[in-house]
Amino acid sequence: MDQEHIYSLIKKIRDNTASEAEKEELLNWYRQKAYQDAEFPESEDSVGDFMRARLNSQIKPAGRNKRNRTWLAAAAILILLGATGVLISRFSGKGGSDNNALSKVNDVSPGGNKAILTLADGSKISLNDAGNGKIASQSGIRVTQTANGHLIYTIKEPVKSKVDSDQTNNAPIAYNTIETPKGGQYQVILPDGSKVWLNAFSSIKFPLSFAAAKARRVELKGEAYFEVVHDQKSPFKVQTEMQEVEDLGTHFNINAYADEASTKTSLLQGKVRVTAGSKSTLLVPGQQATLTNDFKISKVNTEEVIAWKNGYFNFDDERLENVMKSIARWYDVTVVYQDESLKNETFGAVTTRFANISTLLKIMEQTGDAHFTIEGSTIKISKSRPSPSIKNNKPTN
C-alpha cells in the first residue's frame, strides 16, 4: 500500500467517512509493517513490544522527520482507530473475550461536545440539548450552533440611528460565559473571529462585543487552546486566577485548573507575554511557562500539550496522579487510591479520548505497576494485580 493511499485512509477516518473495511485495511497494513520491521517477526510477543516501542519513540520530538512519516502515519492509525488496546491484546495475549464482555456491562463512556451557555441576563442554555441554527440573539450579537457542536458568534451590522447608537454606547457591557462540565468539551468562535477550544471542566467569560468593551479580554478557568486573530491596535488578553497572557499574534494553550499546583502556558505559534504581578516573561514557539511562585521556562512537546484538543491522550512519563486528574475530568469519574504511593508512579500512553475508559486503563496496566478496578463511576487503583486485565465490578448497594 503506497503512502498516498495510507494518508487518504487516515483522512477518511479523521473525517468519520471510512468504512469498517477501510479501517480494517489500515489496521492490517500496520500489523504487516510491524512484522516486516520487527527484529523477530516470528514471535507475536516481540512484534507487539516492537510496535509499542516504535510508537513511543515516534511521539517524542526527536523522532519527527520526513523519513519517519510512515511510522507517524502508523501512530495516527492507533490514535484515530483507538486501536492501541486492541493491538496490545492481540499481540500479548492479554485481555480476552470474558473481560470485553464485562467491559460492556460495566464501563464508562468518554466525554463529548457538552457545554452550558450563560447569557448576560443570567439565563442558561444547554448547548448539547439545543438544536442547530440560531439559539440566541442579544445586543446585536447572533449566536448559532453548527452540526458539529461549534458555537459561532456573529456581530450584526451596527444600527445607523444616532439615538440608537448613543443608547448602545451608554449601555453597560454585557458578558456571556461558556462552561464545560466534567466529560465535556466545546469549540467557540468569538466575535472577533478568534477560536477557542475548551477542555473538560473549564469556562470562558467574554464580552458580547469587544468594541463595546474597548478591550479584547476574556477570563479563563480550567484549560483552553486559543487561535487568536491578531490586532496590533487591540491586544487579546486572557486572565486566569494567577496570571494574564497577552497575545502577540498567537496559537497557545493555557492549563489553569484550580486543583493543579501550577498554571502552564504553552506557545505553538507567534509570541505571548505572560504576566503575574510584577513578574513577566515572553515566550517563543515550543516554550512553556510554568507558574507557581515564579515563572519557570522550559521546552515542551506541543503535540503532547494539545493532544486533548486533537482528540487523544498523550502521556509521556507523567505522574499517575496527574494522568488520573485528566482522565477523571474527561470521563467524569472519581479516583480512589488504595495505595497512595502509586500517585508518583510514571506512565506513558497514546490513545484516543473517544474510547471507553477500560481501553485506556488496559494500556496503562500493561505499562505500569498499578491495577485498576472500575466500580460504577469510581476507579480504584491498587498495587496488587490479581489478573493481567482490568477487573470490572458492579457497584454494590
Distance CA 106, CA 94 (A): 19
- Whether 181 and 286 share a structural domain: yes
What pLDDT does residue 16 have? 65
- How many domains are there within the chain? 3
Give dist(CA 383, CA 385) in Å, integer.
6
Q: Is residue 98 part of a domain?
A: no
Q: 380 phi and psi, to 5 degrees? A: -100, 135
How far, in Å, CA of 174 to CA of 130, rounded? 22
Give residue 319's identity as a one-letter amino acid code: R
Query: CB within 8 A of 52, min separation 6: which ones?
Result: 88
Does 294 map to a domain?
Answer: yes
Report the b/e string of 240-262 with b at 16+ CB within 10 A.
Answer: beebebbbbebbbbbbbbeeeee
pTM of the entire structure? Answer: 0.72
Residues 85 and 177 in one domain: no
Question: Across the 397 residues of the chain, what is the mean pLDDT of every consecutive 10-residue run?
Answer: 67 69 72 48 45 47 41 46 40 37 61 90 83 72 72 61 49 88 92 92 92 87 95 91 92 96 96 94 96 94 89 85 96 95 86 83 80 92 64 55
Give domain status of residue 85, yes or no. yes
- CA–CA separation, 44 and 250 (whole Å): 46
Residue 122 maps to a domain = yes
pLDDT of residue 58: 43
Query: What does residue 333 show for φ and ψ, rounded to 5 degrees?
Result: -125, 165
- Residue 101 domain-assigned (yes or no): no
Same-domain status, 152 and 278: yes
Verify that 265 and 319 share a domain, yes or no: no
What confidence score (pLDDT) does residue 342 get? 93
Is the separation of the CB atoms in 176 and 206 below 8 Å? Answer: yes
C-alpha–C-alpha distance, residues 116 and 180, integer Å: 6
**CB-based contacts of 98, cutoff 8 Å, min separation 6:** none
How high is the pLDDT of residue 375?
A: 92
Q: Dihedrals φ, ψ of 144, to 5°? A: -130, 155
Secondary structure of 287-339 as H, E, C letters: EEEEECCCEEEEECCHHHHCCCCCCEEEEEEEEHHHHHHHHHHHHCCEEEECC
Rounded Cα gap, residues 212 and 175, in angstroms:
11
| Cell representation of residue 381 | 487503583
pLDDT score at 24:
73
Domain boundary among 93, 126, 152: 93
Locate 222 and state its grid cell. 480550567
Q: Which domain holds residue 378?
A: 312-393
Per-residue pLDDT tens over the stretch 42-96: 444 444 454 445 444 444 444 444 334 444 444 444 544 444 443 333 333 333 3
Contact between residue 352 and residue 309 where contact means Cβ atoms under 8 Å apart: no
